[in-house]
Amino acid sequence: MTAQMKQDGAADSAGRLSLLDFSQEEMAGFLAQLGEPRYRARQVWEWIYRRYAADFEEMTNLPQGLREGLAAKATIAPLEKVTELLSASGDTLKRLYRLPDGQTIESVLMLYDRRRTLCISSQAGCAMGCTFCATALGGLARNLTAGEIVAQVLDFARYLAKPEAEPQTDVERPTTVTNIVLMGMGEPMHNYENVWTALRRLTAADGFGLGARAITLSTVGLVPMIERMADEGLQIGLAVSLHAPNDELRSKLVPINRRYPVAMLLEAVQRYIEKTHRRVTFEYALMQGINDSPELAHELGEILAGLLCHVNLIPLNPVPDSPYQPTSAAETEAFAEILRQRGVSTTVRLRRGIEINAGCGQLRRAAA
Ligand code: SF4
């Protein structure tokens, strides 16, 4: 962690650093500057990652003077909740956060039967320019620090641990985050270092402790980073946002395709599978009259044939004033059926939280 990264976003207006940007070693160094012994870092670490403390005052095994000293110099809750929206069914909760420098990001919690899946952001804005995406409209503001990525998870972990403090619904409240998808704002592989620092902290046994297999990283296809991820040695799932089976159409929807065309992307995915023996998910957002024809379904089935993969068809979340509209349920099912008949494992993902702007970047844009 460089001083520059901390300056980029983690110090608040009072000059307090976010302890979430520190490794345990760096935290020990920070506490040593305050004259504290090494074991204090372990105590603070546990309060943050095991007990989800949001305030130094909760750290009752620290002397009062130290709690006050820490509160003057540091923070463990760097995200300010600007607004939150709960879907009518109570199973989708979206939060808009303000970062210390005023940038805003979104995270969405989805409650399934036994999973509590959190979709988090990796950047404020995004540079990838996908033409159907609300986040793309404002461009990239900046990368999130590792601490800002981790902070989203800890904030929802607190929410799930203390449901009485949050909006009440009939939905049973599980008590922690069980799955994480990096599918919120930003391209995680465009902020590779900070994202992987955050993922290691979230999966570390002495950190948040989530199993790597419960995490999925979604990319539009930054080929060199897919190669790099194959060597990371963590069983994080890879999802590739494909959205079209050929270069002509994909370059219109996902401009990065001009640099990393479909064939190059699929070769990288193939190498990833050979190295990791892990199944890769292809995300395909179905857009009415754009990429949802039976011919394109056949073409997609053809290019994916024989690959250890799964296709997730996603009914598009409509963006206001956008020419892209979701494909009908019947046409979505027909598209899925063609893929299945061609032997490609396919599911249609549930669309969650449509009435609360749960699509990537939509709440941020509405609040702008
Ligand atoms: S779809 Fe994802 S990668 Fe594309 S612009 Fe939106 S946030 Fe960025």
Is the distance from the beta carbon of residue 186 to the nearest atom of ligand 1 less than 6 Å?
yes
Domain end among 25, 52, 75 = 75
pTM score > 0.85 for this model? yes
Q: List the domain range (segments joined by +) for residue 39.
A: 3-75
Same domain, 305 and 338: yes
CA distances from 330 to 133, 199, 348 (A): 23, 38, 11
Indicate whether 128 and 34 sit together in one domain. no
- Note whether 234 and 315 are same-domain residues: yes
Q: How many angstroms is it from 131 CA to the middle of ligand 1? A: 9
16: nearest Cα among 81, 77, 102, 58: 77
Half-sphere exposure of 288 (CA within 13 A, CB side): 11
Most ligand 1 atoms within 8 A of CB, residue of 120, 121, 126, 283 to mutate: 126
How many whole angstroms separate alpha carbon 153 and alpha carbon 147? 10
| Catalytic residue check, 309 | no
Helix (H) or strand (E) holding 88: none
Distance (Å) from CA 130 to ligand 1 centroid: 6
Overall domain count for the chain: 2
pLDDT in single tens digits along all 368 residues of the chain: 433 434 344 577 778 999 999 999 999 999 999 999 999 999 999 999 999 999 999 999 999 999 999 999 999 999 999 999 988 888 889 999 999 999 999 999 988 878 899 999 999 999 999 998 888 888 999 999 999 999 999 999 999 987 664 555 666 666 889 999 999 999 999 999 999 999 999 999 999 999 999 999 999 999 999 999 999 999 999 999 999 999 999 999 999 999 999 999 999 999 999 999 999 999 999 999 999 999 999 999 999 999 999 999 998 877 767 788 999 999 999 999 999 999 999 999 876 655 555 555 555 655 55
CB 220 near ligand 1, within 6 Å: yes
106 is catalytic: yes
Do 187 and 328 share a domain, yes or no?
Answer: yes
